[in-house]
A = this chain, B = another copy of it.
Amino acid sequence: MADEVLPDWLIRSAENAPEREALVYGELRLTFGELRRRAERMARRMATAGITVGTRVALLAHNSADYALIVHALPRLGAILIPLNTRLTAEELRWQLTDVRATVLIGDAAHSETITALGRALPPLRLLSLDDGHDEASMPSIATLPEADVTLRTEIDLAATQAIIYTSGTTGQPKGALITYGMHWWNAVGSALNMRLRDDDCWLACLPFYHIGGLSILLRSAIYSMRIVVLPPPFDASAINAAIVAERVSIISVVTVMLQRMLTALDACAATYPPLLRCVLLGGGPAPLPLLQDCARRNIPVTQTYGLTESCSQATTLAPGEALQRLGSAGRPLAAVRLRIARAGGGEAAAHETGEIQLAGPTITPGYDGRPEATARAFHDGWFATGDLGYRDAAGYLYVLDRRVDLIVSGGENVYPAEIEAALLSHPAVAEVGVCGVADAQWGQAPVAFARLHAGATATEDDLLVFARERLARYKVPKAVYFVSELPCTASGKLLRRELPGLLPPASPE
């Protein structure tokens, strides 16, 4: 079974079902036959731009049909996708592009300024535009490139890297998780075995494609020969609700804040979802119980899932129909996933005993790009240590108590306190800083910072927030900075982040 090679998924779908609708994006409707043809043209144009086996192609763009074409074109060339989070600052992107050794950066018109700036900062980087009308000299539009007469690949090596997606650990240092084709394949198969696969299934993709939860929908579409509906940002709950009805959507992946807004929009027009919508896959952090209960009352088939970038999205998922009996559970592992709850002192936890969630199996990343030490640290005897806490009930259903202690999940985005602390520490007035999450009505959680200034130094909250905004994506900027004379530390001087919430003013204006 080593190095299993499969026929290219999109080619298979195009051959099996050439006339079946594959992708809906606004007015554009592509059949699998047309999606394949366009992806092949895209691949030939990319080949003209020098993209070939092993080229690391960064992509900074909103969800669109073109995004899907690039995702489907890259395997035909054996090139690797680096999907960039559109919410990062130019400085964060520059660091990531350098770290991953990307040689090509493709972007859409919405990000042309950032891309031009990145091109200036990283001169060897080749820039390409998904749209027309830009500076054709420094950033030619892909559409204008001739199609190279190259032999496109027709098979997929499951061991090969499809993408590298950056994610941070408790250290705050982002690192690129290797996502192989095999991880997508086994995840798609496990998901189909769990939620079944109907001929009339249609998956709505409103999660960004730069996150694994969105990207995996594109691959799944090709593996299943399944129609997907792509909605571009900004997130528009009413547009999503309308698309669910109009496009006969059966499955949608969302995070809590999205679902809450969708329900609000639904109430505004006293509407309900059609029964064809058979699975609302809810991921991106623990879901509030009142939301799940509300959905249960409305007969909305919410299916909680737990997953990470490193597990290629879903690792455990409830089966549709279990949502009501297992309210609050993230379900059981997908078919090829093995799950254990590790005791801090070693050994496996008993039922209902809390410990660290660890995962193994072919949907788990082989490691972090170019970081053998981080990879070694992440695995314990072949098990991937998620850092997240949870327990299993007697029937083996997972309950996630908390994402890794230090992780703040804000509107579905992972926010790493250490990364924010590092940014604030670079301010000359700051001697010491600690960041933790606080409950936020809109985003679930939001970061706040506690700073101790150097003796004699001065800085206002605004000074530090402005400083943070220049260095951090907006969703990472603390919603408040509290000045303190001392931070809670261990005897050895290590910051005790979990004690930070105790420092919050008791009558916080929130």
Among A7, A193, A321, the one with the most B-chain Cβ atoms within 10 Å of its Cβ is: A193
Q: Is the CB of B193 within 8 A of A223?
A: yes
Encoded as 1 (CB less than 8 Å from any B CB) or 0, chain A from 143 to 185 comes to 0000000000000001100000000000000000000001000
Inter-chain contacts of A15 with B (CB < 8 A): 332, 395-396
25 sampled A-B residue pairs with Cβ under 8 A: A1-B1, A1-B2, A1-B158, A1-B159, A1-B182, A4-B336, A4-B362, A6-B361, A7-B333, A7-B338, A15-B332, A15-B395, A16-B194, A16-B332, A17-B319, A192-B197, A193-B197, A193-B223, A193-B225, A196-B196, A196-B197, A196-B199, A197-B197, A199-B320, A199-B321
This chain's copy number in the assembly: 2
- Chain B residues near A336 (CB-CB < 8 A): 4, 6
Closest Cβ of chain B: how far from A181's Cβ, in Å? 10
Contact with B along A352-388 (1 / 0, CB 8 A): 0000000001100000000000000000000000000
A335 at interface, CB cutoff 8 A: yes
Smallest distance from the beta carbon of A358 to chain B beta carbons, Å?
15
Bound CA span A332–B17, Å? 11
Per-residue 0/1 for A10-45: is the Cβ within 8 Å of any B Cβ (1 yes, 0 no)? Answer: 001001111000000000000000000000000000
Tell me which of A18, A199, A335 has the highest count of chain B C-beta atoms within 10 A of its own C-beta: A335
Roughly how many angstroms separate A158 CA and B333 CA in the complex, as a whole number? 18
Q: A335 to B1, Cβ gap below 8 A?
A: no
User: Does residue A198 face the partner (Cβ distance < 8 Å to B)?
Assistant: yes
Task: Indicate with 1 or 0, residue by residue over A434-447, a CB within 8 angstroms of chain B CB atoms.
Answer: 00000000000000
Q: Does A224 contact B (CB under 8 A)?
A: yes
A198 partner, pick from B182, B198, B321, beta carbons under 8 A:
B198
Query: A335–B12 contact, CB under 8 A?
Result: yes
Closest to A3 in B: B1
Interface pair B159/A319, CB less than 8 Å apart: no
